[in-house]
Amino acid sequence: MTSERSLALALLVVSGVLFSALARPAWRVWRIYSGTKRRRQQDARGSAPLPTPETAARLEALIALGFDRAGETYVELPDVGPRFAWQLVHADREIYAVIVPTPRIGALTAIYSAWRDGTWLSTMNPIGETIGTDEGLVVQAVPGAVDAAFDAHQRRSRALRARHGAPRRVESLADILVLDGEYRTRYGGRTLIRRTRRMVVPALLAGLLLVLSLVLLTVTAR
């Protein structure tokens, strides 16, 4: 066996192992990302599970900050199934929040305000993306306790109020579902771009390496 053919076989094995490990999760992440604009949350009244301990702790923290529970929702994710979330509305009826259980950190909180001109403010805690665009979407990530995230959201909201007026009113879960649908239509997937790229690009490179190794193996067989 020539050295070129040995190299082709080694590349085939390595690329095959890499592609097998990366392709499925990359495809799942891509399907979640690409369908975000069309996907809609649904009322999960009567079907939501009990909140996890991490979710319950965040619920208590937000209630202490003046939020009221509005209900539970779910969204169907490809290869994942229903993913439940707990929705809350602040007493000022200009801010709402969602808590989503996550395997990595236990639970993630996102705090939202929306304006009638299409401007949106999202504050994620304890991790998340940071986005500031001229198109109307402002996303900030605040680590630490949820009260720090709420304070940061209020400060940013006051700055945006000076330019865009008062945020839209949020009274109930029905209002949250309407706003969520508008957000997804306008900005769905924007906060998933970096994570999707991190998952998809290595899988594509592994697939390309697999193809190249097959070509090299064919050439060296002559």
**pLDDT tens, residue by residue, 103-132:** 889 999 999 999 999 999 999 999 988 877
CB 168 within 8 A of CB 158: no
C-alpha distances (whole Å) from 96 to each of 28, 33, 100 are 29, 23, 14
Q: Are residues 75 and 171 in the same domain?
A: yes
Instruction: Kindly state whether residues 13 and 118 are assigned to the same domain.
Output: no
User: What is the band of 190 on the pLDDT scale with cuts at 50, 70, 90?
Assistant: confident
Residue 95 belongs to some domain of the structure: yes
45 in the same domain as 28: no
In a domain, 193, yes or no: no
Site of tokens 């979407």: 137
Task: Dig out the tokens for 65 from the structure.
Answer: 């900050």
Question: What is the total count of domains within the chain?
Answer: 2
Exposure letters 60-93 (e unless 16+ CB within 10 A, then b)? ebbeebebeebbbbbbeeeeeeeebbbbbbbeee
Residues 132, 206, single domain; the answer is no
The model's pLDDT over 45-81, given as tens digits with 9 standing for 90+, comes to: 989 999 999 999 999 999 999 999 999 999 999 888 9
Is the domain of 66 the same as that of 116? yes
Q: What span, in angstroms and rounded, lies between the C-alpha atoms of 43 and 156?
A: 29
So what's the pLDDT on residue 134?
A: 57
The pLDDT confidence band at residue 14, using thresholds 50, 70 and 90, is confident
131 and 82 part of one domain: yes
| Together in a domain, 25 and 106 | no
- Residues 119, 181, single domain; the answer is yes
pLDDT at residue 222, rounded to an integer: 61
pTM: 0.87
Range of the domain at 207: 3-32+199-220
Q: Match 């301990």 to its residue by tokens.
A: 53
Has residue 144 been placed in a domain? Answer: yes
- Among 138, 142, 153, 144, smallest CA distance to 97 is for 153
Most confident region among 72-81, 135-144, 169-178 by mean pLDDT: 169-178
On whether residue 73 sits in a domain, the answer given is yes
Mean pLDDT over the full length of the chain: 91
Is 151 inside any structural domain?
Answer: yes
- Candidates 101, 102, 111; CA nearest to 141 is 111
Average pLDDT on 185-191 reads: 87
In this prediction, residue 1 has a pLDDT band, given cuts at 50, 70 and 90, of low
Measured torsion, CA atoms of residues 112, 113, 115, 120, in degrees rounded to the nearest 10: -40
In a domain, 194, yes or no: no
Q: How far apart are CA 221 and CA 192, in angstroms?
A: 44
| One domain for residues 173 and 102 | yes
Same domain? For 75 and 160 the reply is yes
pLDDT > 70 in the chain, percent? 97
Give buried/exposed letters for 12-22 (b at 16+ CB in 10 A, else e).
beebeebbeeb
113 domain residue, yes or no: yes
Lowest-pLDDT choice from 9-13, 20-24, 78-82:
9-13
Q: Are 55 and 22 within one domain?
A: no
Going by the DSSP 8-state scheme, the letter that residue 82 receives in this structure is E
Distance CA 173, CA 41 (A): 11
Same domain, 134 and 90: yes
